Chains A and B, each alone.
Chain A
Amino acid sequence: MRHLRLLVPVLLLLLAGCSSGGTRDDGRITLRFQSLAWQEESVAANKDLVKEWNATHPDVRVEYVQGTWDSVHDQLLTAFEGGEAPDIIHDASDDLADFAYGGYLADLTDLLPARLKSDIPRRSWETTTFGGGIYGVPFLQEPRVLIADAKWLKRSGVRIPTPERPWTWAEFRRITEDLSGRGEYGVAWPLKEPVSATLNLSLSAGGQLFHRGPDGKVTVRFEAADQVVPRTVHAQIGTDRSASPTTLGSGGSDTLPGFFGGRYAMVPLGFSYRQQIVQQAPKGFEWQVLPAPAGAGGLTQGVSPQTLSIAEDSPHQKEAAAFIDFLLRPRNMVRLALGDWMLPTGTRALNDPALRTAEHGWSAGTALAAHLRPAPAQTVRGYPEWKDKVATPAFQEYYSGAIDIRELRERLERDGNLVLARYQR
């Protein structure tokens, strides 16, 4: 044992000796920018912008750090706790609440220039506003759209919806039923993550689900407007047989082979899936982007934009804010949007001709930008636990036909409010 006691510190010293450690800051300010960009074009756009910044700002060097969407929350939490977080943090608005309330992120209210503040609409800023402070700059977002087999729709003679005249939910249900039969389905719902899909689309029917009382406390109420979308999907799968029952547990990518193979006429997907479709669609396959169905709330739907935040511990918050301002200049925002196949939040970027072209459905998506609102759960504390423990299994069971709407409502409200109450004492 004595030898072991000696061996461990010796090994530690040896290992420490091998470590490069230390800072590489040579007198200039060095900022670490952790980006979650992952698609080839998106990574290239981010790296190019960092290079351009470094070329024009010799005193403030930005180091590009490649992060990953997988486990980003745990990775950031550990880095924050250990005081080793990157200066500039790329994330999504629905992941920010705990970090903002936990004091890990800098309040950007006084750090951001007026240009940037006025360029991004208020409804987008709401997604990153927690307790009166702004904890991230929302810069990219994607609506959920219907990607449709253009030839199939044309052949069937159904009315093609436009942002000005979208389908209603009832019309959508009827049309998918008309398109189905002989092993073919009008729609395939990829509902691996049923909660965000249902809640975000439910805004179109006037759904709200989370209700904030005068005391500031949030309760769940699953009312008639909240039930429109779930009832439609449930009926398509269980009653009409117009939605494939096999894609309920699938992610969006998993539905594409069936879509290309002529098994489904439409697939509701995030706007950025177009990149995969362009890559993978067989030659001659014609597809188009259609707006998701509308209800009492029009085309409104919830989104959780991608965000850029600054760590509270960063000693160079002003410089970090200047870099964010550079990264999100209208022209640069367009480059980031094109790289990620998403919509920019900035109004000037959104008007760029590159995003108004009909090619690859860009114009169909930009027409929806004005209808995007913060995802309903955005600022609700305890939402992740409510989603994982209560809502996800409840929605999965409902869509698969294991429980009815009454049971779904009871679980979302009774069990859900118990969870939320713990976070609001």
Chain B
Amino acid sequence: MRTGTPARVGQYTALLAYLGFLAFPFLWLVSTAFKPPRELGSLHPTWIPEDPTLDNFRQAFDEQPLLHAALNSLLAALGAAVVAVLIATPMAYVVARRRTRLAKAVTGWVVVSQAFPFVLLIIPLFLVLKHLRLINSVPGLVLVYVVWALPFALWMLAGYVRAVPPELEEAAAVDGAGRLRTLVSVTAPLLAPGIVATALFAFITAWNEFFFALVLLKTPEKQTLPVVLTHFIGAEGVADLGPLAAAAFLATLPSLVVFALIQRRITGGMLTGAVKS
């Protein structure tokens, strides 16, 4: 069935509107980051700053250790992504391929674990980490993020494993490949898009996380970006809007860059899978 020109125009218009809707908060953030205080208090705000300034960035860097906090965030997010993927990949394989009671129990656990709110977990988690001497350390935070991301990562990866036809592994076995060889040479490459997507999920979750970092990190030199960003916010939600927007804009860049770098791999992998099936 061919789509006519008016319908195509309609589709693109809807798509553009949707993109605009998605991009609006980010574009507004960028606009705010470059506005001087007087424009921020204007009744008729403009998209393009009338008198653009870098003062908000200067103030943000002067007031808070943004680079150091970004490094802490990067360490925590990369650590969480790598460890979560390392643990979740073999688990997901077992859950997807072996139809045992354990696999079912794990799936149930994944669903139940999503129901617990942060506040319920934080005090016991704090005590456990204190016992392990991992309070106020980025590795401690990585551990928490891994635990937090693991259920969903497992669930996500299990879906990717199921999408890889078992016949491919059987064919490799017939050709004489051992179990490990099959996993490394046949299954793992086909899982790459899933692994990348899962790592991205774990990375972004950890990069943006605020509450655990607030509670678990005590000294300023350990704090992550989301915690440092709240230093621009005062009592009753009053905010130093310009520097906050400047710092928040910079904080979103790594997520965007990581996503831009690997999104082609994700979509490429999906398409490959589609053709095979």
Contact = CB atoms under 8 A, between A and B. Distances in A.
Contacts of B127: 81-82
A280 B37 contact: yes
Interface string B125-150: 01100101111111110110000000
B179 interface: no
Contact of A20 (B119, B137, B211, B236): B137
A264 B214 CA distance: 39
Given A15-B139, A19-B134, A74-B119, A84 B90 contact: no
Interface stretch (B3-11, B41-49, B164-172, B185-193): B41-49
Interface in A238-290: 251-253, 256-258, 260-261, 263, 270, 272-273, 276, 279-283
A11 B139 CA distance: 10
A280 B38 contact: yes
A21 B136 contact: yes
B38 to A, nearest CB: 6
B215 interface: yes
Give the interface size bracket for B toward A: 35 or more
Contact of B239 (A8, A16, A253): A253
B233 A70 contact: yes
A129 B38 CA distance: 42
A43 B238 contact: no
A367 interface: no
A257 B41 contact: yes
B235 A83 contact: no
Give the interface size bracket for A toward B: 35 or more
Contacts of A270: 236
A193 interface: yes
Given A38-B232, A66-B220, A84-B130, A258 B137 contact: no
Contacts of A65: 218-220
Nearest to B94: A1
Contacts, number: 151
A222 B128 CA distance: 47
B232 to A, nearest CB: 7
B162 interface: no
A282 B36 CA distance: 11
Given A16-B139, A260-B42, A39 B215 contact: no
**Most A-side CB within 10 Å, residue of B133, B135, B215:** B215
Contact of A66 (B83, B231, B239): B231
A68 B130 contact: no
Interface in B199-246: 210-211, 214-215, 218-220, 223, 227, 230-241
Given A19-B134, A19-B140, A252-B236, A74 B211 contact: yes
Interface in B235-262: 235-241
B74 interface: no
A3 interface: yes
B134 A16 contact: yes
A322 interface: no
Given A4-B87, A251-B238, A260-B43, A68 B137 contact: no
Given A64-B220, A65-B218, A15 B143 contact: yes
11 contacts: A4-B87, A12-B143, A19-B137, A20-B137, A36-B235, A38-B233, A39-B240, A70-B214, A78-B126, A92-B235, A282-B42
Given A66-B223, A69-B234, 20 more contacts: A12-B132, A16-B132, A16-B134, A21-B134, A38-B233, A68-B231, A68-B233, A78-B122, A82-B126, A84-B130, A84-B136, A192-B237, A253-B239, A260-B43, A261-B42, A261-B43, A270-B236, A272-B238, A276-B41, A282-B38
Please name the 4 residue pairs, one residue from A and one from B, whose CB atoms are nearest each other, closest first: A261-B43, A280-B41, A15-B139, A19-B137
Interface of B: 37-38, 40-45, 59, 62-64, 83, 86-87, 90-91, 94, 102, 119, 122-123, 126-127, 130, 132-140, 142-143, 210-211, 214-215, 218-220, 223, 227, 230-241
Interface of A: 1, 3-4, 7-8, 11-12, 14-16, 18-21, 32, 36, 38-40, 43, 63-66, 68-71, 74-75, 77-79, 81-84, 86, 92, 192-193, 251-253, 256-258, 260-261, 263, 270, 272-273, 276, 279-283
